[in-house]
Structure 1
Amino acid sequence: MSTVEPDDRLLRRLAEVRLRFAELDEQLADPAVFEDPARLRDLGQERAALEPAVREGTRLEGLLEELAGAREMAESTDGEMQELALEETRDLERRIEPLVEQVRELLLPRDPMDDRPAVVEIRAGTGGDEAGLFASDLLRLYTRYAERRGWKVELLTLSEGIPGAVKEAVLTVSGQGAFGALRYESGVHRVQRVPETESQGRIHTSAATVAVLPEAEEVDVAIDPGELRIDVFRSSGPGGQSVNTTDSAVRITHLPTGLVVSCQDEKSQHKNKAKAMKVLRSRLFDRALAERDAERAAERRSQVGSGDRSAKIRTYNFPQSRVTDHRIGLSVFNLDAVMDGDLDGFVRALRLAAQEERMEAEG
C-alpha cells in the first residue's frame, strides 16, 4: 500500500461514522422526534457535525476505487496505455494524500467544549508602545479569522494606549467550532519588526499574551451575589458625551478568588455589568475545569503567562515575512496572510498534534 493511502484504522473509523450517520437519518425521520424539540436539536447537531466526514470520506473512497483501477490497468497493459495509466495513478495519488489528512482531521473525537463561544483576552506584554500596537494587530487578526469562518464577534471591553495601540481587549467569538479552533491561540505571541518610531532601522522584539476560555453558561457556574463587590466609576476612555460623564463603568471583584473584571465600553451601567459578569463567569468556569483536570490546569497556566518575550508559543518575524509556531515547529512565509486572519494551517496542525498527544497518553 502506498504511504498516501489511509490505514485500516482510519477506514474502520470512517465506516463507524457512516453507520452512525445513517442511524441519525433514521431517527430524524421518526415523527416522534419532531415532538421533542430538545432531542431534535441534539440529533440535528450531531448529524451536522458528522456530515463533513461522511461527505469527504465518500469522496476519498471513490478516489481509492479509481486508483485501484488505474493500477490494475498499468499492470495489465503495455506501451502507450500503460503510460497513461501510470500518469493517472500519479495524479490520483497526489489528490488522495491531502484528502486523507482532511478526513483524518474530520474524524477526530470532538471535545464537548469545541462548539462553545470563545472568550478571547488579549493583553500587551513587554515592549512598551510597540507591544500595544502588536496587541491591536492580534485583535484584528482574530476578528478577521472569525469573519472568514462566518462567526460572530462581540467586543466586551477595550483599553487603549497610544493611537492604534491596545492595552487590553476582551471579545467573544461565537460560531460552530469557535472555542475548538481558538483554544490553541492561548499563550505568549512574540513580534520582531522595526517600529515606525525607530529611526535607526533596528528590529525590536515585543510580546502580547492571549488567553482563550470557553464561554460559561449560567448553569455552569453558580455565583453568589454576596461574594461580589461591585464598584461603579466614571469611564476614563474616549467616548460620547455620556460615556465619560456618568458613573457607567463597572468593576466586579469575586471575593473568594480575588478575580477582578471591569467594563466601561457601554454607556449603560447595566450593559457594562452584564458584559463583566460574562467574562467573570467564564474565568470561574475555566478555573473550575482546571481544578478538576490537571491537563486543563497546565493549559490555563500557560495562557496567563507574564508576557515575557522568552515564554513564547509563536513568533511573527516581519523582516522575513515568517510566522513560526514553536510548539510544533511549523513555519510559514505568508505573514501578511496570517495577520489578515489566515490561521487555518496553524489551527489544523495544532489540533492534530494535540490529538496525537492525547492518543499516545491513553495508549
Structure 2
Amino acid sequence: MIDKLRQIEIKFHQIEEQLSDPEIISDMKRYAALNREYKDLKDLVTIYHEYSNILDAKEVAKQMMEDDDAELREMGSDEMNTINAQLVKMEEEIKFMLLPKDPDDQKDVVMEIRSGTGGDEASIFAGDLYRMYSKFFENQGWKQEIVFVNEGSSGGYNKIEFEIQGQDVYGMMKFESGAHRVQRVPKTESQGRVHTSAATVVVMPKLEMEDVDIKKSDLKVDTFRSSGAGGQHVNKTESGVRFTHLPTGVVAESTDGRSQIKNREIAIQRLYQKIYAQQKASYESDLAAKRKSLVGSGDRSDKIRTYNYPQNRLTDHRINLTLYSLDKVMEGDIMEIIESLRLYENTERLKEME
C-alpha cells in the first residue's frame, strides 16, 4: 500500500506541474479533466502524509518500549496502543479511497420520478419526493433544470423529468433508482386510514459531447475537388474533405471552406455531431430499457425504501437501514442514507477484490 501511495504522490506532483503549463491551460477540456484528477489525488496524498507521520511515530514508540527506563517503556507501550488503533482505522479508509472509481460518478444526471400504484396519493408522493430531492440539491449547491412535467389531478406529479448539474452528482444519486413506498393517511382520506402507495425513481448519468471518443486509427480520410459555385479555385483544388468512421460507418464531409484545413475542421465537427446523435439515440433506448430494470413494475411490494409517516420512520430495505427522522429526510436531509449506501457498495467491492 505504501508503494502505491508513493506512486500516487509522484503522479500528483506531475499533474500539478501540468496544470501550470500554458498549453494545457488553453485546452479547457484537458485542463478540466486534469483538474478533476488533481482534486481526487489530493485527498489521497494528504492522508498518505498523515499515515507516514503515524508510521514514524510508531518507530519512536517502539524505541521507547526498548528503553532501560521502566516509565519510558510504559509510555511507549501506551503510545503504541493508540497508534495501532489509529493505523487500523486509517488503513481501512485508505483501502476505500484506493478503490477504482466509476467514471460515470462524476457525470451530471438525468432523473425521473413517476407515480406508481396508489392513484392520486401516488402522484402527491411523487411531488413530495421531488421536493425532498430539490432541497438536497440546493444544499449541495447543484443546479437543476426541469425537462418535462405532467402534473397529478390532486397535486404532485404523474411524471417529472429533470437534469442535475454539479460535483459527483451521479456518484451520490445513483442509489435512488427504484420503487419508493409510502405509508400514511392521504389528504384525500376522510376516515383517517393509513394507505400504502408508491412512486418510482430513475437516475441515469447524462451523456455529454465529450463522451464521444473518436480514435485517429478508426478514421478514413479522403480529399476531393469541390464542385459548384466558387470559381476556378474550387474546381482545381482538392479542398473537399470526407471523414469515414470505420467502426460505425458514419460519413461526414465539407466543401464549405476555401482551404482544406478549414474543411477538415468542419468535417470532423460534423462527424462528432453525427456519432454523438447516434450514441444519444442508443443511450435513450438504453435509458428506457434500464428504467424498466431499475424500477420494476412500480408496485407497492417492489420497493427499495419505505417512508412510514405515522412512525416517522424510513427504512432502506437493501441495507436494512432504519431511521426515525422521516420529517428531516423529507426536508432534504438524505446524506446519511447516501453515505450508508456508498459505504455498503465499497465494502462489497473490497470483498470482491480480496
Q: Distance in 1 between matches of 2:66 and 2:192?
A: 63
Q: TM-score, with normalisation over the residues of structure 2?
A: 0.66
Where does residue 134 of structure 2 map in the other structure? 143
2:330 matches 1:332 = no
Q: TM-score, with normalisation over the residues of structure 1?
A: 0.65
* CA deviation string 1:219-259 (max 9, x = no partner): 768xxxxxxxxxxxxxxxxxxxxxxxxxxxxxxxxxxxxxx
Where does residue 185 of structure 1 map in the other structure? 176
Asked whether the equivalents of residues 70 and 89 of structure 1 are also in contact (C-alpha less than 8 Å), the reply is no
Asked whether the equivalents of residues 28 and 40 of structure 1 are also in contact (C-alpha less than 8 Å), the reply is yes
Letter in 1 for 2:337: F
Query: How far apart are 1:112 and its partner, in Å?
Result: 1.7
Q: Distance in 2 between matches of 1:36 and 1:219?
A: 13
Question: How many residue pairs were aligned?
Answer: 288
The higher radius of gyration belongs to: 2
Give the 3-state SS of the residue equivalent to 2:340 in structure 1. Answer: helix
* The one of 23, 28, 31 aligned to 2:14: 23
5+ residue gaps in structure 1?
Answer: 1-8, 222-279, 291-296
Query: How far apart are 1:183 and its partner, in Å?
Result: 1.2
Q: How much is the aligned-residue C-alpha RMSD, in angstroms?
A: 3.8
2:162 matches 1:171 = yes
Where does residue 318 of structure 1 map in the other structure? 309
Query: How far apart are 1:103 and its partner, in Å?
Result: 4.5
Cα distance change of structure 1 residues 176 and 192 upon mapping to structure 2, 3 Å threshold: same
Query: How far apart are 1:312 and its partner, in Å?
Result: 0.8
Q: Distance in 2 between matches of 1:167 and 1:202?
A: 23
Query: How far apart are 1:162 and its partner, in Å?
Result: 3.9
* CA deviation string 1:193-236 (max 9, x = no partner): 22234344432211110011111235768xxxxxxxxxxxxxxx
* The one of 282, 288, 293 aligned to 1:302: 293
Cα distance change of structure 1 residues 68 and 187 upon mapping to structure 2, 3 Å threshold: farther
Where does residue 257 of structure 1 map in the other structure? none
2:48 matches 1:48 = no
* The one of 113, 123, 129 aligned to 2:114: 123
Where does residue 285 of structure 1 map in the other structure? 283
Q: Distance in 1 between matches of 2:117 and 2:135?
A: 25
| Residues 1-363 of structure 1 mapped to structure 2, 5 A cutoff | 9=1, 11=2, 13-34=4-25, 36-59=27-50, 61-62=52-53, 86=78, 93=85, 103-218=94-209, 284-285=282-283, 287-288=285-286, 300-358=291-349
Query: How far apart are 1:192 and its partner, in Å?
Result: 1.7
Bigger Cα displacement from structure 2, 24-33 vs 68-77: 68-77
Give the 3-state SS of the residue equivalent to 2:107 in structure 1. Answer: coil
* CA deviation string 1:267-317 (max 9, x = no partner): xxxxxxxxxxxxx98674154589xxxxxx7x6543242210111111122
Where does residue 241 of structure 1 map in the other structure? none
Q: Distance in 2 between matches of 1:81 and 1:206?
A: 65
5+ residue gaps in structure 2?
Answer: 213-277
Give the 3-state SS of the residue equivalent to 1:113 in structure 2. Answer: helix
Cα distance change of structure 1 residues 12 and 341 upon mapping to structure 2, 3 Å threshold: farther
Query: Sequence identity, in percent?
Result: 41
Give the 3-state SS of the residue equivalent to 1:189 in structure 2. Answer: strand
Q: Distance in 1 between matches of 2:210 and 2:25?
A: 26
Asked whether the equivalents of residues 116 and 177 of structure 1 are also in contact (C-alpha less than 8 Å), the reply is yes
Query: How far apart are 1:161 and its partner, in Å?
Result: 1.4
Letter in 1 for 2:199: A
The structure with more helix, counted as a fraction of residues: 2
Letter in 2 for 1:165: G
Letter in 1 for 2:171: G
Q: Distance in 2 between matches of 1:63 and 1:18?
A: 17
